[in-house]
């Protein structure tokens, strides 16, 4: 670790924010940006990417100037049980449909907790699927099938 880094957590968190902003900026630049008076579809996402990069710079410089804690143990269980189900949802929503995909995603993200209880996980799943249906399908009218072709839907 370089000697100029006083707070490794802040420094590397800021670096991660900048890297994420760079990846999304690359995708946003394919969209038409426009001007402040005639905004294109890429204007607001580019603004958000710029804010994320600026926040990353501030946090990274804070890691150079202010004393902080070293990087500790990574909570792999929580990280894996949060990230993988979300990726699973994005990959399977068309095939499994909204209900099955969201139910599996919510249930498996509850496994990230060290205090996991089956009854609570099932209750969270039921409530979030119900509210997801109320908000996205009934309320907003998004054209998402409840059951996908992999489970007998259309």
Report the C-alpha gap between 23 and 121 in whole angstroms: 34
Q: Does the structure show a pLDDT above 80 at 154?
A: no
Mean pLDDT in residue range 92-115: 93
Please give the full DSSP string across 52-106, using - where no structure is assigned: HHHHHHHHHHHHHHS--PPP----HHHHHHHHHHHHHHHHHHHHH-HHHHHHHHH
- pLDDT digit string (tens) for 117-152? 999 999 999 999 999 999 999 999 999 999 999 998
């Amino acid at each position: 670790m370089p000697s100029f880094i006083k707070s490794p957590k802040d420094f590397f968190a800021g670096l991660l924010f900048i890297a994420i902003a760079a990846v999304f900026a690359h995708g946003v630049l394919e969209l038409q940006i426009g001007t402040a008076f005639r905004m294109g579809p890429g204007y607001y996402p580019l603004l958000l990417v710029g804010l994320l990069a600026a926040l990353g710079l501030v946090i990274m410089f804070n890691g150079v100037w202010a004393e902080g804690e070293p990087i500790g143990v990574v909570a792999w269980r929580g990280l894996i049980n949060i990230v993988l189900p979300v990726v699973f949802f994005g990959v399977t929503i068309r095939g499994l449909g909204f209900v099955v995909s969201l139910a599996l995603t919510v249930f498996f993200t509850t496994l990230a907790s060290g205090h996991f209880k089956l009854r609570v996980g099932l209750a969270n799943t039921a409530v979030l699927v119900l509210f997801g249906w109320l908000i996205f399908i009934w309320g907003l009218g998004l054209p998402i099938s409840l059951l996908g072709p992999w489970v007998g839907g259309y």
